[in-house]
Amino acid sequence: MMLAVLIYKDMTETICNKDRDIRANFSCPLTSDVSKMVDIFSVNSVTTRNKMTRNAILGITALIICNIVVPTQTTVLEQDTMIEVLLLKVAELEKNQQECSSYQSKMLQELSYLKDKLQQSERRISELETIVYKTRSYEYTEHLDVTMEKEPAYKPTNKTGTRFIKEKNIRRTPELKGMHLQKSGILKRQGRGIANKQIGFSATIVKGVVQVIQNEIIHFDTVLHNEGNGFNKQTGVFTCPLSGTYFFTISLLTHPGSPAYVHLIVNGQIKANSFAYGITYSDQGSISTIVRCEAGQNVWISLFGGTQIYGEYYTSFSGFFLWGDATGSR
Q: Residue 235 above 90 pLDDT?
A: yes
Q: Residue 160 above 50 pLDDT?
A: no
Who's near 160: CB < 8 A, 6+ residues apart?
A: none
Summary mean pLDDT of the chain: 71
Q: Residue 136 above 70 pLDDT?
A: no
Q: Residue 11 above 80 pLDDT?
A: no
Chain segment 22-53, per-residue pLDDT in tens: 444 444 444 455 455 445 444 444 444 555 55
Predicted pLDDT at 166: 42
Predicted pLDDT at 66: 54
pLDDT band at 117 (very low <50, low <70, confident <90, very high): confident
Q: Does domain 151-328 have CATH number 3.40.630.90?
A: no
Listed in order, the ranges of the chain carrying CATH 2.60.120.40 are: 151-328
Burial class (CB in 10 A: 0-12, 13-18, 19+), 117: exposed
pLDDT band at 321 (very low <50, low <70, confident <90, very high): very high
Report DSSP letters for 261-275, one per residue. Answer: EEEEEETTEEEEEEE
Report DSSP letters for 305-321, one per residue. Answer: S-EEEE-TTSSEEEEEE
Predicted pLDDT at 203: 96
Better-scored residue on pLDDT, 113 or 306: 113
Mean pLDDT comparison of 63-67, 101-105, 254-258, highest-scoring range: 101-105
Nearest of 252, 246, 231 to residue 310 by alpha carbon: 252
Predicted pLDDT at 57: 60
224 to each of 44, 131, 177, 202, 247, how far by Cα in Å? 75, 40, 25, 5, 17
Q: What is the reported pTM?
A: 0.44
Predicted pLDDT at 319: 96
Name beta bridge partners: 248: 289, 319
- The vertex-298 CA angle with 186 and 330, nearest 5°, equals 50
CA 286/CA 252 separation, integer angstroms: 6
Predicted pLDDT at 9: 54
Chain segment 166-225, per-residue pLDDT in tens: 444 444 444 555 554 455 554 444 444 454 568 999 999 998 888 887 778 899 999 999
Predicted pLDDT at 91: 84
Predicted pLDDT at 144: 59
Average pLDDT over residues 294-314: 86
pLDDT band at 276 (very low <50, low <70, confident <90, very high): confident
Looking at the chain, list the stretches that DSSP marks H as alpha helix, in order from N- to C-terminal side: 2-18, 31-43, 49-65, 76-150, 174-177, 179-190
Nearest of 164, 140, 135 to residue 263 by alpha carbon: 164
Predicted pLDDT at 224: 95
Nearest of 242, 248, 231 to residue 179 by alpha carbon: 231
Whether residue 166 contacts residue 268, with contact meaning beta carbons closer than 8 Å, is answered with yes
